[in-house]
Amino acid sequence: PIPSADQSESRVFTAVYQKVSPSVVRIDNLTSLAAGSGDATDEALPESQGSGWVWDTSGYIVTNNHVVEGADALAVTFPDGVELPAELIGRDPDSDLAVVRVDPSLVQLVPTERGRLEEVEVGQRAIAIGNPFGYDNSITTGIVSALGRSIESQSGYSIPLAIQTDAAINPGNSGGPLLNDR
């Protein structure tokens, strides 16, 4: 039998998920607890959570600035359950981008294969992998609705050349990758 279009599409989504999900991490923005005397303790609680993706094998991870903003500490959890502290390397509130780094000797890092913006077309499939609502590595799909959109960042700066998608992006997906079928 000839596979239906739905079966073929499902196979593509499964293949993309299997290829990329080892690169997608959960990032916990932690707040230090203060002891009664006003001294900070070693204990920290999650303030918020988002997603990120492994840039390279040197431990660099890309996320959104609003995922890490105001953190007293950061923790990165990998798909295999390994949780590591992360150092904030840099952030740009205007573009809502941030880079954190983990010790690459403590975990196997699988960098995300990066595409080329000039190959993206309106109508193509858009696939988002992230950690919505604290659940690890969920996938949502949609299409590329438009290209070259300007999106206002939390700082009021207009981010140019954004990809608009109708893929469901829920709290916790922020910072995760937007992918095509390749």
* Residue 147 to residue 158: CA distance in whole angstroms: 15
Task: Choose the catalytic residue: 23, 51, 138, 174.
Answer: 174
136 is catalytic: no
66 is catalytic: yes
Task: Choose the catalytic residue: 92, 96, 138, 155.
Answer: 96
CA geometry: angle 97, 164, 116, nearest 5 deg:
65
Instruction: Determine contact, residues 178/129, Cβ cutoff 8 Å.
Output: no
Q: CA end-to-end span of the chain, whole Å?
A: 25
* Residue 130 to residue 31: CA distance in whole angstroms: 22
Task: Choose the catalytic residue: 6, 66, 94, 166.
Answer: 66
CA geometry: angle 123, 127, 130, nearest 5 deg:
150
**DSSP helix/strand/coil, 111:** coil
174 is catalytic: yes
The catalytic residues are 66, 96, 174
